[in-house]
Amino acid sequence: MRDTRSQFIAFGLLPALNALALFIHSIFIVTGTTGGAGAALVVTLLAVLVMVIAVVLAGLRRARDLGWTGTTTTVVFALAILLVMPIPLLLAWLSFAPGKAVEPPAPTPVARVLTLVLLLAMPWMLILVARAVG
């Protein structure tokens, strides 16, 4: 499976920004606890993990669209994870690099759109429930 620019922005860049927002929210949960913070923190950190996995998978699909080999992709992602600072640059490059010329992509199926909505909205709803319950 390959991702075009717009698909990578939707399924890679937006979840990355959501993961950053969730991480910042987890800092606020830890520093400003008013009760129910334990469950909310666990839910938040698990949601960040899911977002990071989604971003990596979208990055792999986009790298395939750019024509990168498996070895090149592995080295680039490993260096980005080890050095941390190139991650925003890697996301920007994957968002704007010209892909291979192929047939026009098929419309995004409904299941993929629902997955995106769940990735972006569900963690915030679960945090609210965890804070109310715990």
Domain with 84, as residue range(s), is 5-133
Q: What is residue 126's DSSP assignment?
A: H
Domain count, the chain: 1
Q: What confidence tens digit (pLDDT) does each residue in 83-119 have?
A: 877 788 888 888 888 877 666 566 668 888 888 888 8
Q: Which DSSP string do the residues of 25-71 spell out, in sequence order?
A: HHHHHHHT--S-HHHHHHHHHHHHHHHHHHHHHHHHHHHHHTT--HH
Which pTM value belongs to this model? 0.72
Q: Kindly indicate the confidence band of residue 47, based on its pLDDT and cuts at 50, 70 and 90.
A: confident
Residue 12 and residue 85: Cα distance in Å, rounded? Answer: 17
What angle, rounded to 10 degrees, do the helices at 110-133 and 14-31 form?
Answer: 0
Interatomic CA distance for residues 91 and 95, integer angstroms:
6
pLDDT in tens, 7-40: 888 888 888 888 888 888 888 877 776 555 677 7
